[in-house]
Structure 1
């Protein structure tokens, strides 16, 4: 036991090696986070060979400039120093970010069928950069990608940018945006089909506002998924909208259902003075759903 105790005491008595440190002065939280993310020196371990530390230290001003430019600061002043001690090294950066670049000219154009689609125009205006705001590469990229994704969600699956550029004038501290989105033709819903055969097709269709030939919308697909999931009749629900019919510009909708707990259904017809003819399905467990045939929508579900 004595050798073991002696070794344990020696290990606990050893001093802990100090970690390498990179200090920033003059940056706000967002600027420092981006600087650390783009500066390899900030991730360097304390036992990195001195020649490697020197190389990373020398390239750090360029890394720091790149990090600040992404946030709109193109004229930083950087002062730096590297300090070594017995255990490790410490890098210090005193930074004055300078005035930011701001948006000046903003040109966002949408062509083809989407040019007259009010929904697309609303999407283009949402989160759009405004003149006078600080230019931020991340915000621009999110806007550009978000607009394309939102247009796709409305059925413009052939949409692509014919022009996407930002020009920055460093001396003028100004950025000009030019985006041209060629949307193409809007796709329409194709055939709506269900794989589960226990419940009648017309009852399943009552959960959906999707109609063949109408303009495609991912919102309608999501609503159908939520309606079927909340019905309580199925163990799982998935919807497939592939493959697209590029010739006819249609989107097939295939709903894949697996049965939930086994139930016996009976269907009957009735008439209500306020809603007209109604169809209902019931099960011995008490679950029921009522369908208003005048609107072809599911009215209620109880389980």
Structure 2
């Protein structure tokens, strides 16, 4: 509405009918100054986001994932926008804890959104539920280098073992260590032909299935760091994890 009035006032006929030339110029610049100051006069809505029930990495990942936390410093936030972000937060919290082995996450009452003299407060009480534990780790090696020493005892060296809590970061680190060791020993075509995590949702248990194809031996001397790093990035990019979830209704 303001912009419509402002631009209508710029009409030459309007000024000529109401003001002399000097006055019209003064009015024009006064309106222009008000127009330029409008953004500074609009105050952002204060918003605080609090998450209870989880600590350390889980809490950090939630705060880095839910949009209401990422937008709380946005000066253009409106109440309508805040309410929409608040409504979407519980689902985002559930997804944020999945990489840590939590698949039964609940957000009590969907969280709360209240207002006081200090602004709006979005509070979420998270109930992580029982964590998923690794029940079995199966790592097989195939290909020309399957009998090489570097590929022996991979299961013992893998960071996730029976009884440990499933964690995507640790899982990916274990795979990266295997690929890195293969590259250092000349197997630059190494890759995972099977890369699965089978999760039994109701029992909170998971089985890791990895099959490594060594590929042929390309060199017996250790390559340069640059070459190793480049090859490793390519192998990781093509080794995507398949996660198979059993639903509660199927058990």
TM range (shorter): 0.5 to 0.7
- 1:147 paired residue among 154, 169, 178: 178
Runs of 4+ deviating beyond 3 Å: 16-19, 85-88, 122-125
Pair 1:17–1:50, CA change in 2 (3 A):
closer
What's the offset of the Cα at 1:87? 5.6
Distance in structure 1 (CA, Å) of the matches to 2:91 and 2:188: 40
Distance in structure 1 (CA, Å) of the matches to 2:180 and 2:81: 43
- How many residue pairs match? The answer is 184
Higher relative contact order (CA 8 A, sep 6+): 2
Question: Are residues 1:52 and 2:81 paired?
Answer: yes
Unpaired stretches in structure 1, ≥5 consecutive residues: 1-13, 189-214, 223-238, 245-303
Tell whether the 8 Å contact from 2:150 to 2:181 is kept in structure 1 after alignment.
no
Cross-structure match for 1:173: 204
Cross-structure match for 2:66: 39
Aligned Cα root-mean-square deviation (Å): 2.6
* Equivalence map 1:48-197=2 (5 Å): 48-79=77-108, 80-85=111-116, 88-122=119-153, 125-188=156-219
What's the offset of the Cα at 1:117? 0.9
Question: Are residues 1:216 and 2:221 paired?
Answer: yes
Q: Which has the higher helix share?
A: 2
Pair 1:122–1:164, CA change in 2 (3 A):
same
Matched position secondary structure for 2:136: strand
Q: When the two structures are superposed, what TM-score results if normalisation uses the length of structure 1?
A: 0.55
Tell whether the 8 Å contact from 1:20 to 1:44 is kept in structure 2 after alignment.
no
Unpaired stretches in structure 2, ≥5 consecutive residues: 1-40, 232-251
Q: When the two structures are superposed, what TM-score results if normalisation uses the length of structure 2?
A: 0.66
Q: Which has the higher strand share?
A: 1
